[in-house]
């Protein structure tokens, strides 16, 4: 299945819902042409205000070709909904597998090794994911691990100034982002270390606290650690990733040579397949038949650091049920501006202004006027003027795909 093919809603048979998050709903579907399972993310463009993030996710997915990154097949508009067609991974997310119990060191090593290979590819291309966590790591039935959910990923640049933003999920965020400092791709290394602890215990550090309390503890607290009961090489890997000073963290390419990562390349992936089978049996035993593809956390677009005490209390006492995420253990994603600062000309640092789309004529079955397409049934117009203005904005953003 390639991106040169034209898609329409009639070509897919939708089945169970796999996940629901800030950007939309994900379904398992059958491609009637290829007879393959695919994942279909439907985004309601009438209700979504995160157009730039949607644009960003499509742009990054369409340009990433790596065995440890979810495949993107194409997208199209249907009745004011954007359909994004992606690879379906039957094993679910690492987060969903953890519901049946924490992973063994060997399984964690397998996952970490594959994730690092994907991050080497992303970082070499000047991209940073910014939201590595178990919920965004998907597993195939054969034990292949793939990074998903690029809604908050971004492109690095060598521009002199940048827009500082705090983006990610609180429990996995590195202290330099929370403390409003400049950051680079070492932020992914920190998040991977937190994810390793999450997979070892079933929850990330500080998960006993509401998200806003956790944020302040990450900023001012001690370096997280794995604790006793684990091998020296696993402890060393986690400690290496979780250096509070980002300059002290190794690059993901350097991590390829770590003993724990090398261990993961030697362990048979059948160990990970056993976790999938264990989860399926756990679902049967607990009558838990809800399937999951991945569940992106809800993004809160506010300057949370500057909220008054009442607002902070609302956030901390409101637990983690904000938005529509099915994953109450993930907390929520936050995204807010922290002003503009001057930084050295160094292409290791993030520049949100560089998140531009490359021209790709094969991704949308629409034209830039929104007129009806022969096979998707979409017709622009016949709505109120406010919606028409919004649709024009959407087409302007997406027109580079045409």
Catalogue the active-site residues: 131
Two structure tokens written together for 242: 């979780």
In which region does residue 370 sit, left (phi positive, over 0), alpha (psi from -120 to 50) or beta (all else)? left
Strand ordering across the sheet containing 72-78: 12-20, 25-31, 37-44, 81-87, 72-78
Q: Supply φ then ψ for residue 156, to 5 degrees.
A: -85, 155
In terms of C-beta density within 10 A (0-12 exposed, 13-18 middle, 19 or more buried), how is residue 48 classed? middle
Coil, helix or strand at residue 83: strand
Rounded CA-CA distance 102/183 in Å is 31
Which of 397, 294, 298, 357 is closest to 70 using CA atoms?
Answer: 294
Tell me, rounded to whole angstroms, the distance of Cα 194 from its chain centroid. Answer: 15
Q: Is 71 annotated as a binding residue?
A: no
Pairing of strands 145-147, 137-139: antiparallel
Q: Which runs of consecutive H residues, i.e. helices, occur in 205-338?
A: 211-220, 232-241, 252-255, 259-266, 270-285, 309-317
Rounded CA-CA distance 37/15 in Å is 10
Contact status, residue 274 vs residue 225, Cβ threshold 8 Å: no
Distances, alpha carbon 46 to alpha carbons 8, 54, 80, 297, 306, in Å: 20, 13, 7, 20, 30
DSSP bridge pairs for 322: none
Which of 168, 139, 171, 145 is closest to 53 using CA atoms?
Answer: 168
Contact status, residue 149 vs residue 296, Cβ threshold 8 Å: yes
Tell me, rounded to whole angstroms, the distance of Cα 73 from its chain centroid. Answer: 17
The dihedral over CA atoms of 243, 247, 249, 255, expressed in degrees to the nearest 10, equals: 180
Annotated binding site for ATP: 41
Annotated binding site: 41
């Amino acid at each position: 299945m390639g991106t040169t093919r034209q898609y329409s809603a009639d070509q897919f048979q939708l089945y169970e819902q796999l996940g629901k998050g800030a950007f939309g709903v994900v379904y398992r579907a059958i491609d009637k042409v290829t007879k393959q399972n695919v994942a279909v993310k439907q985004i309601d463009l009438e209700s979504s205000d995160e157009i730039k993030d949607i644009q960003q996710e499509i742009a990054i997915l369409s340009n990433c070709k790596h065995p440890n990154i979810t495949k993107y097949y194409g997208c199209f508009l249907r009745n004011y909904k954007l359909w994004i067609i992606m690879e379906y991974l039957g094993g679910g997310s690492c987060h969903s597998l953890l519901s049946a119990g924490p992973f063994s060191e060997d399984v964690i090593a397998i996952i970490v090794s594959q994730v690092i290979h994907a991050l080497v590819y992303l970082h070499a291309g000047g991209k940073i994911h910014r939201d590595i966590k178990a919920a965004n790591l998907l597993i195939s039935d054969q034990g292949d691990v793939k990074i998903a959910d690029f809604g908050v990923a971004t492109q690095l640049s060598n521009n002199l100034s940048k827009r500082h933003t705090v983006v990610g999920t609180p429990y996995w965020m590195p202290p330099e982002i929370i403390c409003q400092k400049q950051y680079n791709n070492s932020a992914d290394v920190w998040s991977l270390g937190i994810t390793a602890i999450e997979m070892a215990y079933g929850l990330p550090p500080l998960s006993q606290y509401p998200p806003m309390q956790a944020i302040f503890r990450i900023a001012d607290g001690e370096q997280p650690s794995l604790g006793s009961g684990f091998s020296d090489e696993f402890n060393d890997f986690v400690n290496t990733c979780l250096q509070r000073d980002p300059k002290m963290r190794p690059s993901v390419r350097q991590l390829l040579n770590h003993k724990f990562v090398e261990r993961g390349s030697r362990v048979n992936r059948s160990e990970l397949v056993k976790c999938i089978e264990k989860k399926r049996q756990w679902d049967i035993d607990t009558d838990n038949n809800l399937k999951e593809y991945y569940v992106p956390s809800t993004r809160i677009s506010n300057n949370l650091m500057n909220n008054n005490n009442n607002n902070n209390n609302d956030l901390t006492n409101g637990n983690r049920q904000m938005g529509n995420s099915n994953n109450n253990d993930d907390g929520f994603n936050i995204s807010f501006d922290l002003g503009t600062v001057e930084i050295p000309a160094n292409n290791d640092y993030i520049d949100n202004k560089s998140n531009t789309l490359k021209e790709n004529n094969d991704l949308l079955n629409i034209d830039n006027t929104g007129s009806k397409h022969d096979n998707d049934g979409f017709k622009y117009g016949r709505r109120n003027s406010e919606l028409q203005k919004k649709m024009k904005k959407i087409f302007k953003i997406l027109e580079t795909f045409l």
